[in-house]
Structures are given as structure tokens and as C-alpha cells.
Amino acid sequence: MAAALAILGPFAAAATKPDAANEDPGEDEAVPVLTIDGRLDEPAWSQARVFRDFVVTEPFTLAAPTLPTEARLLSTPDGIAIGFDLTHPPDVPRVVERTARDADQVGDRVNVYIDFDADAQVAYNFTVGLSGSVQDATWTNEVAYSADWDGDWRHAVHVEDDRWSVEILIPWTVASMRGSAADTRTIAVLFDRYLAANRERSASAPVSFRRPRYVSEFTRIEIPQYSGAVFEIYPYATATRDLAGRRGDGKAGVDLFWKPSGDFQLTAALNPDFGQVEADELVVNFEAIEAFQSDKRPFFTENQGIFDLRTPDSGLLIYTRRIGGPRDDDPARAADIDAALKLNGAWRGIAWGTLAAIESDHADDIGSAFFAQRLVRPGDTWTLGYLGTVVDRPFLDRRATVHALDATWRPDPTVLVSGQVIDSRVDRAGAARTGTGAWIRLFLTPSPTWQHELELTRFTRGLDFNDMGFLRRADLEELEWTTTYLRTDHADDDPVRSSSWRVEPQIRRNTAGDLLPPMVFIDRGRSFRNGASLSWSARVQGAGIDDLVTRGHGNVRLPPRHQLYAEFDSPRIGAFEYEVSGRAFQEGLDEWGLAAGVEARWIASERLSVNAELVALDSPDWLIWRRGPVLGQFARSQVSKALGIDWFPAADHEFRAKLEWVGLRARNPRAWRAAANANLVPSDDPVDPFALNTIGIQLRYRWTFAPQSDLFVVYGRGGERFDLGRPDGLGDLFLDALELRDVDQFLVKVRWRI
């Protein structure tokens, strides 16, 4: 490591100096100097660009906001500075709640969104709450949000009786930027404010992430540009104790981050592992399609936006949880990663990114190797891109290659056209399997009241990018149309502030011509002036073929299935808020099931909050796959419970307790077999009743002892049990779940910045 510092040190030192063009501002131009303390009282703020004309964007009325807001932006040698001056008189309730970094904030807050290249590819989102809590995220594909990214930036909040103010400083090194040597740069920005008392969002431009065009509608401005360079090392070490197996383990590694200029960034990791402090949500999934889980490992969230290439049906061409996922030789264990490298840069107007990772024991034909290359060429109204991935899995004698071309066209503010062509090839044991895919999506937004979407998709049966991506299903031809109507002209004395209708018909079939169940979704929503909301939805699903349920053992013809759902979100009532929901649905051959849920939140104080959730479900007719062409029909009872406690005893210290439990009983089994003509026929195949019991408990303490430096102390316990023929009730299942110890682990982890 010392050698690496000796080699790269001169680059880091030299790169911190400003460009010659910016080094001497001259006698008439002062370099802005700020102290980030939350107060907008420095003389430099008088040079800032000011944004005052905020309009309400949630709900999307575009009316004057309840309270005035002023945002300021100033380019400084240290970074882009943003200030907020927020009027907030004492008679308007203030919601002050501390939250963990990157946790969803429910209190009063402000947001800064910056697209540093003004090309609508990646926008960075910086959130600061009235409590001082922060969240950072990225926006890609116009409206795709991810809170996995963590940036290095500064903030401060100052509170007075009738207002509060925020200062934010975003260093020039926070992201890669094209053309970093120029004296000026054009960026696209948006500022918004969330008033928790009535759940109103107001923004500096009339745009909303609930509409098809978002990032491309940010306000473009030109600002002075200063150079930025950084070289940072993030060592980490972990010590774990398996209390169930009575054994301990230790691990150490390092992440490297080098940015000599805005046009180039390098992120490297040796022996990386920083994800296990974040507990995944419990998932009970009996479907043929796997459940998606986000990735919190810092290496895979840093500057990942350029690789965020999506497909219809929630697909991803790069799904980073594949890297270091289940081992090919032992899927019950996670693969270790020996090294990973990520390069981001720009060359002659082309943004590019390279990602490579290698798992342990790849040289011994066990671990896998991953490689991805991304190129993006933006224009004024269009964008062209290419992504190529290669995955080598020697244990399976499998090599997967994917190529994708994507394009976006924005001819005017009311139209957005995007599309993609994909080619895949999987070589395994001397045989090759190829496939293609293509889709196109057209958005029309003729007015703030109406918006329409047309989507056409065709994936051949052989398409497969799951080695490095996430593909819910191949073998699909789909036509989808969506129309949304938003009404915002309700009378002033009407408790309803806005209301909406949404209709979405879908027609689908596979490439063999089998008609998959057609669907129509109908949604109705209302937003009230006191902050409450009420929504209901209906799904009308016609009869059709399910070609996935038997996992390749034949098609199944399903009858029509429908669903009704309703949800009410309460306004804030003192320190409380709640949500209640109900659902009537069909998931078998005929009968209806019922489900109800309630979630309550108590903000006991600025530093302590409690969240509890309970969902109960009962269905007399649940149809799932058991084996081969055999399906089982059951009566299902299921209960889910969740409890979360967040406590912040002091600045930079947080404690989180989290419990999740799901108990499921499947009774009264009846066997069905898929016939050659896809009809289900009664069968004498043995199908047993069963119970599933799963629980997760985590106690986590986090101390942020320096910027980008954390100490975690975590206790985690949980497990899952699947029992055939179990007669116990759900209450007994919960008591049994408290004894499950598939995982019973104590972990200490420290990661710091050098």
C-alpha cells in the first residue's frame, strides 16, 4: 500500500491545484469562500444564481406552494455550493425526525438534483432533512431511482423561529464529468422542498418524477468550472463470531478511489466485502421468477449509473448481486471476490465505463469472472449507447456474452422515444444457445393533465442475460398501452387537492403463439389537502397460458383471475401516522382470498422513531408448482410482522433494531397435473400440506467517526424452516421462529478513509 501511495501521490498532489485559467480570478472577480454552517450570511452568496419561482409538483398542480422557498447556487473552487432559505412560520407544524443515512426520510427536507453533464444520463440527488439527516441517490433512465450510491459531500442546517436554512457543498470530485478542463460547464439542476405537514412537494421547475420525462427537464445553466482531483484509500476489516457454529473468522480488504481529473475515475477493490451489515428484506417467493434484491456494497454503488441499463418488466443488463453471489460449486454459500476494478471516463464526447471482477478460485475453475464495457454518446435531442458483458463460469463450463444497443430521442418536451436491441450467446459444454430481444417505448405528454405510453417488446426464447443481469423472463411478445389523467382543478373548499385515473391494458404471448393471460390495470388515486391519500386499483386478468409455472414441464391453462386493492395513508396526527390496506384476489382456479394490512409509525422524538407493520392473508384457493408437471392447490394462511426502532443517542451515532417474521400454512392439498393440451386434470400424485417459517432479527450500531468512515457492531439472527405435514397454527409458528438459528452471528466491521 505504501508503494501505491508513493506512485500515485504526486498525481494526487498536483491535481488538487486549480487549472491555470481559474487560478487567478483577477482584481474584479473574487473567488467565492464559504463556511458550511447552514447560515447564508457570507458575502459570497450575493454572487449566487437565485431560484425563487417554486411550484407545487406533488400533487402536480403547478400552483403556488404553501410556503415560499429560495434556492441559491454558487460555483466555488471547492465545489458547487447550494443554499436554501426556507420560510416556515411557527403555526405550520415542523416534522423533525433523524433517520439513518440513505433511509427514507418522512420529515421536512430539501433536495438538490444535478446532472453534471446535462445529458439526462445520470443525475445525482442530495437530500438534507430539517433534522440534519441526509440521503444521496442517483436517477437514471429519466425516472429510475436508486439510493444505493453514497457520495462524499458536506451539509449543514440552521434553524430559526420562522425559517430554516441549509448549506450544501458538492465537491468537484463527487462524480465523473466530461470536459473537465474547460473554464465553464453546463449542468442541469432541480431543487425541491418537501413539506411534511401536508405532504406537499414544490420544485424550482414544473417537473415531476411521476411523469415520463424528468431528468431531461431539469434547468440547464452554465457555471464557472474548477478542477478537482482526489486519491483515497478505504481499508476495512471485519471480525465475525458464529454463535451457532462456535467459530470465528476475520477478513480485511481495501477499496481504492483515484480521480486525477473530471474525465477519469478509477475505483478498485481488493478482497471487497461490505454488504453484510445491511439486512435484506425477508422474501417468501413460490413464483417461477426470482426475487430482486438491491446491492449496498460501496464498490458496486460508486459511479454505477452509467451501467444502469434497464429493460421492460423490471429487467437489468447488469445486476451486481450476481458478482459474489451463490457459488457455482455450492449455491448455499456466497462466493468471495478477490478483486474488482471500475473505470469511468470521457473521450471526445463519449462517456465510457469499464467494470471487471474476479471471484476467488477462478484459477482453479470454481469462481467466476465478470467483465462489462459501456459507451454512451449523447446529443442535443438524442443519445446512443452500447453495453457488452462477458461472464466466464468455468465450474459450469459456461461462458455468456451479451451485446446491447440503446437509443433515446427527445424531439420536443412532449415526446420521449427510447428503445434497445439485445443479443445474447451462452456457450456451455460445447453447445451454443443464442437469443435476441428488442423493445421500443413511446411517451406522449400533450398537457399536464394527460400522458400516454406505448410499449412494444419481443424477447426470443433463447435470450439469456441472467449470468450478469436480471431477466424476469424471455420468450415474450408484449403490447402495452397506458393512459393517465390527472385532475388538479378541484375547488378551494374541496378537501381533495388532486385526483387521477390510470388505465393500462396488456396483451402478451410467447414466441410459440401461446396467448398469455391478458390484463387490464385500473388505478384511481386521490390526494387530500391535509396530507392524506386514498387509492384503489383493479386488475382484470383474462384466461390464458402460464408457460413458466411448471419450470419447463409443460404449459398450464389458467382461468380468469382478478384482484381489487385499496389503501389509505393518513395525514400526520401529532407524532403518529398510519396506513391501512385491503385486498381481495384470486390466485387459484376459482375462489377469492382476502388480505388486510396496517402499518403505523410513531415519532417519539427527533432522535427516536418506531415503525410496526402487520399483514394477514387468508386464501382458500392457492395454486403453486410442486414438482414436474404436478401442481398443488391449497388453502393458505399467512401472517407477516415487522418492527423497526431507530435511535440516535448522539451526533454520528445510530442504533437500529429490526425484526421481520413471515409464517405460512398451506392446508387441504389437492393435486393437479398439466396435461399435454395445457389443461389441468385432477391427479392422485401425493401432495402434502406444509408450513414455512422464516424470521430475521438484526441489532445494529453505527458510529461515523469521520467522513466516509464507519464502525459497525452488528448482531444478526434468523432462519427458515420448511415442514411437510405441519398442523401447527400461526401463533405456534411465531413461537417456533424465535428458536430458529440458521444464522446467529456477531460482527464488528470498520471501514475508514485514508
- Kindly state the average pLDDT of the residues 323-346: 90
Q: Which of 270-274, 290-294, 452-456, 571-575 has the highest mean pLDDT?
A: 452-456
Q: Which amino acid is at 613?
A: E
Helix (H, G, I), strand (E, B) or coil at 284: coil
State which fold the 31-227 domain adopts.
Immunoglobulin-like (2.60.40)
Spatial neighbors of 245 by CB under 8 A, at least 6 apart, are none
**What's the confidence (pLDDT) of residue 178?**
83
Q: Which helix (H) or strand (E) holds 731?
A: helix 730-737
**Measured distance CA(31)–CA(260) in Å, rounded:** 22
pTM: 0.86
Confidence of residue 276 (pLDDT cuts 50, 70, 90): low
Q: What is the pLDDT of residues 92-124, one digit of tens each?
A: 999 898 888 777 888 899 999 999 999 999 999
Q: What is the pLDDT of residues 342-380, one digit of tens each?
A: 998 888 888 999 999 999 988 888 999 999 999 999 988
- Of 73, 72, 69, nearest in space to 53 by CA: 69
Answer positive or negative: Cα dihedral of 198, 201, 204, 205. negative
Query: Would you say residue 14 has pLDDT above 80?
Result: no
- Kindly state the average pLDDT of the residues 274-278: 60
Q: What is the pLDDT of residues 567-621, one digit of tens each?
A: 999 998 888 999 999 999 999 999 999 999 999 999 999 899 999 999 999 999 9
Confidence of residue 4 (pLDDT cuts 50, 70, 90): very low
**Cell 413539506, located at residue:** 195
Residue 394 backbone dihedrals phi, psi, to 5 degrees: -65, -30
Query: Would you say residue 9 has pLDDT above 50?
Result: no
Spatial neighbors of 648 by CB under 8 A, at least 6 apart, are 98, 607, 608, 654, 655
Q: What is the pLDDT of residues 243-257, one digit of tens each?
A: 988 888 888 989 898
Confidence of residue 730 (pLDDT cuts 50, 70, 90): confident
Query: Would you say residue 386 has pLDDT above 90?
Result: yes
**Measured distance CA(264)–CA(197) in Å, rounded:** 43
Confidence of residue 292 (pLDDT cuts 50, 70, 90): confident
Confidence of residue 229 (pLDDT cuts 50, 70, 90): confident
- Decide: 305 and 138 in contact? Cβ < 8 Å: yes
**What's the confidence (pLDDT) of residue 727?**
65
Q: What is the pLDDT of residues 481-528, one digit of tens each?
A: 999 999 998 998 999 999 999 999 999 999 999 999 999 999 999 999
Q: Which of 3-12, 82-91, 702-711 has the highest mean pLDDT?
A: 82-91
**Measured distance CA(629)–CA(610) in Å, rounded:** 46
Burial level of 514, CB count in 10 A (0-12/13-18/19+)?
middle
Burial level of 229, CB count in 10 A (0-12/13-18/19+)?
buried
Q: What is the pLDDT of residues 648-707, one digit of tens each?
A: 999 889 999 999 999 999 999 999 999 999 999 999 999 999 999 999 999 999 999 988
What CA–CA distances, in Å, run from 298 to 148, 277, 301, 322, 709?
8, 12, 5, 15, 12
- Kindly state the average pLDDT of the residues 227-240: 89
Q: What is the pLDDT of residues 142-190, one digit of tens each?
A: 998 988 888 889 999 999 999 999 999 999 988 888 888 889 999 999 9
Confidence of residue 436 (pLDDT cuts 50, 70, 90): very high
Q: What is the pLDDT of residues 741-752, one digit of tens each?
A: 998 999 999 999
Give the mean pLDDT of the chain: 90
Write down the domain spans for the chain: 31-227
